[in-house]
């Protein structure tokens, strides 16, 4: 994003959007403080669910990035920045994903608004070299249940630091949610422990941490961003990979264009299945009660059709 656009948006936010109304659902962020309620703004869905699990009934947790939008190309509006500056706590994944945060924090009073980078302390890997984005840091740590637990712990520590009188509640809530992530991890381990075919092809390079955790091999059509266009050489290499490994499925994403994945599937004569990176959960999914945990269960079922 151009720095002058960002700066202008921030200046505009301070003068125009100071009186924005509040909303208490996951679909959009609250923009004013309630003195009696903790107000937490999170960037995208996994950060929302992890944080909501810890906060519980102690406050309002809201999404900044609207449902149905993925975070890779997101840029905050002036109103979005006001929501952050008005919050008690702001939670994001990492500078590798929400790169705009580094500049945006210049306008945030961090004594008033606690800023939590959930991936802090996790060593991010570089992308796998399959694309022009090779060498960029991979932010998709939330797709590894083990690293997701670490993110929940980091969020818990940040919330406790800001509200020490609620430490016991936060800790109890975090333990309950981490237990669910531990169960999820065990299901993934059990599913893949004895697999002999451990490779899969997916739309973009979002599942590198998950693959590493369970001894799998991810081959991605695109790089870190789902919107990156693969080269003809890359597609030819993937066609060979699919044939050499006798794969029967290529995975695509519902919230990004799937035309390249579908074209590759047609070229190789294989089926397609959804593998969800949980970046742009839809409003319909939210209304249906879909969660990070349920999507990860669905991802496991989808992967088990290839990993055997």
Q: 3-state DSSP call for residue 237?
A: helix
Residues 110 and 259 in one domain: no
Of 133, 160, 185, the one marking the end of a domain is: 185
Residues 59 and 110 in one domain: yes
d(CA 86, CA 5): 21
Number of domain units in the chain = 2
Domain with 203 in it? 192-303
Burial class (CB in 10 A: 0-12, 13-18, 19+), 51: buried
The reply to whether 21 falls in a domain is yes
pLDDT range class, residue 4, cuts 50, 70, 90: very low
Q: Are 213 and 188 in contact (CB under 8 A)?
A: yes
Phi/psi of residue 225, nearest 5 degrees: -95, 135
More confident residue, 129 or 19: 129
Of 129, 156, 185, the one marking the end of a domain is: 185
Which residues, other chains included, contact 213 with Cβ-Cβ below 8 Å and sequence gap of 6+? 144, 145, 146, 147, 188
Q: What is the pLDDT of residues 27-53, one digit of tens each?
A: 444 434 445 789 999 999 999 999 999
Residues 171 and 293 in one domain: no
The percent of residues above 70 in pLDDT, for the chain, comes to 86
d(CA 53, CA 152): 9
Report field, pTM of the whole predicted structure over 0.85: yes
The reply to whether 308 falls in a domain is no
Neighbours of 41 (CB within 10 A): 28
CA 75 to chain centre: 15
pLDDT range class, residue 271, cuts 50, 70, 90: very high
Q: What is the pLDDT of residues 47-71, one digit of tens each?
A: 999 999 999 999 999 999 988 888 9
Q: Are 305 and 285 in contact (CB under 8 A)?
A: no
């Amino acid at each position: 994003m151009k720095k002058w656009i960002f700066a202008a948006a921030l200046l505009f936010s301070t003068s125009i959007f100071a009186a924005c109304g509040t909303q208490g659902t996951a679909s959009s962020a609250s923009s004013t403080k309630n003195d009696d309620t903790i107000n937490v703004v999170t960037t995208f869905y996994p950060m929302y669910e992890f944080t909501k699990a810890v906060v519980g009934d102690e406050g309002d947790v809201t999404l900044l990035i609207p449902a149905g939008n993925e975070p890779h190309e997101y840029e905050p509006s002036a109103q979005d920045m006001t929501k952050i500056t008005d919050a008690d706590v702001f939670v994001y994944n990492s500078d590798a994903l929400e790169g705009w945060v580094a500049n945006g924090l210049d306008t945030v009073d961090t004594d008033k608004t606690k800023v939590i980078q959930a991936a802090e302390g996790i060593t991010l890997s570089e992308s796998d070299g399959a694309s022009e984005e090779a060498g960029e840091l991979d932010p998709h740590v939330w797709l590894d249940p083990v690293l997701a637990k670490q993110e929940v712990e980091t969020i818990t520590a940040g919330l406790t630091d800001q509200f020490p009188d609620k430490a016991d509640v936060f800790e109890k809530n975090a333990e309950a949610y981490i237990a669910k992530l531990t169960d999820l991890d065990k299901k993934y381990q059990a599913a893949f422990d004895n697999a002999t075919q451990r490779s899969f092809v997916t739309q973009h390079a979002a599942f590198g941490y998950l693959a590493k955790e369970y001894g799998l091999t991810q081959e991605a059509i695109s790089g870190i961003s789902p919107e990156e266009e693969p080269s003809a050489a890359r597609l030819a290499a993937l066609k060979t990979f699919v044939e050499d490994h006798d794969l029967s499925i290529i995975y695509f994403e519902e919230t990004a264009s799937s035309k390249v994945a579908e074209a590759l599937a047609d070229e190789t004569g294989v089926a397609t299945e959804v593998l969800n990176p949980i970046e742009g959960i839809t409003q319909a999914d939210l209304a249906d009660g879909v969660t990070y945990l349920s999507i990860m269960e669905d991802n496991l079922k989808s992967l088990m059709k290839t990993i055997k």
